[in-house]
């Protein structure tokens, strides 16, 4: 189907074709009537003419055909009127035809004649017939003129139709399509339609249908919006509940992580966490060639506290000592419970000198404090060691432990710095090579 074809031009062509066919049909019928009418008229005239000829021949006394023929020649009226075929016969002769198209011996060619009339007067019989050719000629002329008229009519109708109807239909469709184009799909409102076109039922019906679609569109959109809002509300609720669950999970996770990394009694890092931090710090220090010192702290004669005040009081003392150490240390180092009544402090970027200073500060902070209603006095022994070049974490721990041992051995409540790896080396060499 040709997509450029418009509805208006389609209607125009169909209408003209219908008009053409119906006009041809009506004209055909008219021609038939005309033909029949002409034939009747001619037959009537032929009959009258036959009578006229017969009356003229009535006076002729002779009965021979030859005489009649001779007499016929004298009849001007017959000779002049060549519209009809005239045949004369007596009882004893054949019909003699007075027309060039009909031979004297022939009977009239009925198929080409309208009708044959016979007039019998005495022994003479006059036969007349009218040829159809003039009617056919008139018919042809009529058909040709009518055809020309029809073509002119069609052209005129085409122009008129195009000007009035096609323009009108096109306008109606253009108005509808313009209304639909400017239709706000987000907030569609029913089309008002063209006031003139609204007088036509088809236009009104289309308008009603379109407006029904628009109304259902609005209803559907409202439903979708409502569903969206409900969905969003549900998603919001779900998100909130998920967020709440997530927060709970995060808190639980934090709690678990705290539990996993914190000593339950003293609330400082436990041994597991310290081991990890210790390994990390040793690795960083070795890689960056930076200082790292370790303090091992042991509460002096703690057994006496337990023995004297009971294990529970011992626990409280341990707790308070840890809190006090943590506050004093601040963010200068990492404090952990090493085990039992022992603590470890990791001091990144601290050399022996500064580490000893920090050990001393911590020792004094406990030495000057009294716990459990000012009754219990506690002292600390501290072993200090700095990570030497190419020294492992275990070696550092051993040296710090040895320093702590030395602090205990030499009277407790003191800070002892372990010999550096280099010093130990020198000592070892001196012992191996005595002078
Ligand atoms: N209350 C309590 N006591 C603990 C805890 N862990 C270890 N202890 C006690 O700490 C004491 C350690 O005793 P020792 O190893 O003899 O050392 P000390 O008495 O501190 O003596 P020195 O370390 O030589 O100065 C023991 O009595 C342990 O029961 C604990 O978590 N709570």
User: For position 396, which CATH number holds?
Assistant: 3.30.70.270
DSSP string, 182-197: T--SSS-------TTG
Give Rg (Cα) of the chain: 69
Who has greater pLDDT, 111 or 277? 277
Distance 327 CA to ligand 1 centre (A): 23
Is residue 167 included in any domain, yes or no? no
Which pLDDT score is estimated for 108? 43
Res. 71: pLDDT tops 70: no
Q: What is the mean pLDDT of residues 109-115?
A: 51
Atom 6 (ligand 1): residue with closest C-alpha?
Answer: 340
Find the 280 Cα to ligand 1 centroid distance in Å. 29
What is the 302 CA–ligand 1 centroid distance (Å)?
A: 5
Confidence of residue 342 (pLDDT cuts 50, 70, 90): very high
Residue nearest to atom 13 of ligand 1 (CA): 303
Distances (CA, A) of 379 to 206, 235, 332: 102, 61, 22
- pLDDT, one tens digit per residue, over 20-57 is 999 999 999 999 999 889 888 888 887 887 777 777 77
Determine, yes or no, domain membership for 303: yes
- Which residue in 200, 38, 268, 5 sits closest to 130, CA to CA? 38
247-267 mean pLDDT: 92
Does 263 sit in the ligand 1 pocket, CB within 6 Å?
A: no
Look at 156-160, 282-286, 306-310 and tell me which has the smallest mean pLDDT: 156-160
Q: Is residue 278 part of a domain?
A: yes
Pocket of ligand 1, candidates 270, 302, 308: which has the most ligand atoms within 8 Å of its Cβ, to mutate? 302
176 belongs to a structural domain: no
pLDDT at 115 over 70: no
Per the DSSP assignment, residues forming a β-bridge with 119 are 126
CA distance 54 to 77: 12
Q: Report the catalytic residues.
A: 341
Ligand 1 pocket check for 301: Cβ under 6 Å:
yes
298 lines ligand 1 (CB under 6 A): yes
**107-111, 292-296, 367-371, 406-410: segment of lowest average pLDDT:** 107-111
pLDDT exceeds cutoff 50 at 80: no
The tally of domains found in the chain comes to 1
Q: What is the chain's mean pLDDT, rounded?
A: 84
Residue 419 located in a structural domain: yes
- Mean pLDDT to the nearest integer, 158-176: 82
Percent of the chain with pLDDT over 70: 83
Distance between Cα 383 and ligand 1 center (Å): 17
Confidence of residue 110 (pLDDT cuts 50, 70, 90): very low
Would you say the CB of residue 291 lies under 6 angstroms from ligand 1? no
The position carrying tokens 């205990």 is 408
pLDDT of residue 274 exceeding 90: yes
Q: Is residue 348 part of a domain?
A: yes
Determine the average pLDDT of the residues in 142-171.
87
What are the pLDDT digits (tens) for 205-252?
888 888 888 888 888 888 999 999 999 999 999 999 999 999 999 999
Range of the domain at 269: 264-432
Question: Is 331 within a domain?
Answer: yes
Q: Does the beta carbon of 314 lie inside 6 Å of ligand 1?
A: yes
Relative to beta strand 376-377, strand 124-131 is unpaired
Residue 375 lies in a domain: yes
| CA dihedral sign of residues 155, 160, 163, 167 | negative
Instruction: In whole angstroms, give the CA distance from residue 131 to residue 100.
Output: 12
């Amino acid at each position: 189907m040709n997509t450029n074809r418009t509805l208006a031009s389609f209607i125009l062509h169909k209408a003209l074709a219908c008009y053409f066919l119906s006009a041809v049909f009506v004209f055909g019928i008219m021609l038939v009537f005309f033909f029949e009418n002409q034939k009747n008229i001619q037959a009537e005239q032929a009959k009258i003419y036959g009578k006229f000829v017969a009356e003229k021949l009535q006076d002729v006394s002779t009965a021979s055909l030859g005489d009649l023929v001779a007499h016929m020649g004298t009849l001007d009226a017959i000779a002049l009127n060549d519209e009809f075929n005239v045949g004369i016969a007596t009882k004893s002769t054949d019909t003699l035809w007075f027309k060039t198209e009909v031979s004297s011996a022939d009977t009239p060619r009925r198929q080409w004649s309208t009708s044959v009339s016979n007039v019998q007067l005495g022994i003479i019989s006059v036969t007349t017939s009218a040829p159809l050719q003039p009617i056919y000629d008139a018919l042809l002329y009529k058909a040709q003129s009518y055809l020309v008229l029809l073509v002119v009519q069609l052209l005129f109708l085409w122009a008129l139709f195009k000007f009035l109807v096609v323009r009108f239909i096109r306008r109606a469709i253009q108005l509808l399509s313009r209304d639909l184009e400017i239709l706000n799909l987000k907030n569609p409102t029913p089309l008002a339609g063209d006031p003139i076109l609204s007088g036509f039922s088809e236009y009104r019906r289309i308008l009603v249908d379109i407006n029904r679609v628009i109304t259902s569109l609005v209803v559907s959109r409202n439903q979708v919006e409502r569903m969206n809002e409900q969905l969003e509300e549900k998603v919001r609720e779900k998100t909130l509940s998920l967020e709440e669950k997530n927060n709970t999970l995060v808190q639980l996770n934090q709690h678990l992580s705290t539990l996993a990394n914190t000593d339950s009694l003293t609330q400082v890092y436990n041994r597991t966490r310290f081991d990890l931090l210790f390994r990390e710090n040793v690795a960083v220090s070795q890689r960056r060639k930076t200082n790292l010192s370790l303090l091992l702290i042991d509460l002096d004669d703690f057994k006496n506290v337990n023995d004297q005040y009971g294990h529970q009081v011992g626990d409280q003392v341990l707790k308070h000592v840890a809190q006090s150490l943590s506050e004093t240390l601040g963010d200068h180092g990492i404090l952990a419970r090493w085990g039992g009544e022992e603590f470890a402090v990791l001091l990144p970027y601290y050399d022996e000198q500064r580490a000893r200073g920090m050990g001393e500060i911590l020792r004094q902070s406990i030495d000057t404090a009294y716990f459990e209603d000012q009754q219990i006095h506690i002292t600390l022994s501290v072993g200090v060691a700095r990570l030497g070049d190419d020294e492992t974490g275990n070696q550092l721990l051993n040296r710090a432990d040895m320093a702590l041992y030395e602090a205990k051995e030499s009277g407790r409540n003191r800070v002892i710095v372990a010999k550096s790896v280099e010093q130990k080396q020198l000592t070892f060499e001196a012992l191996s090579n005595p002078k």
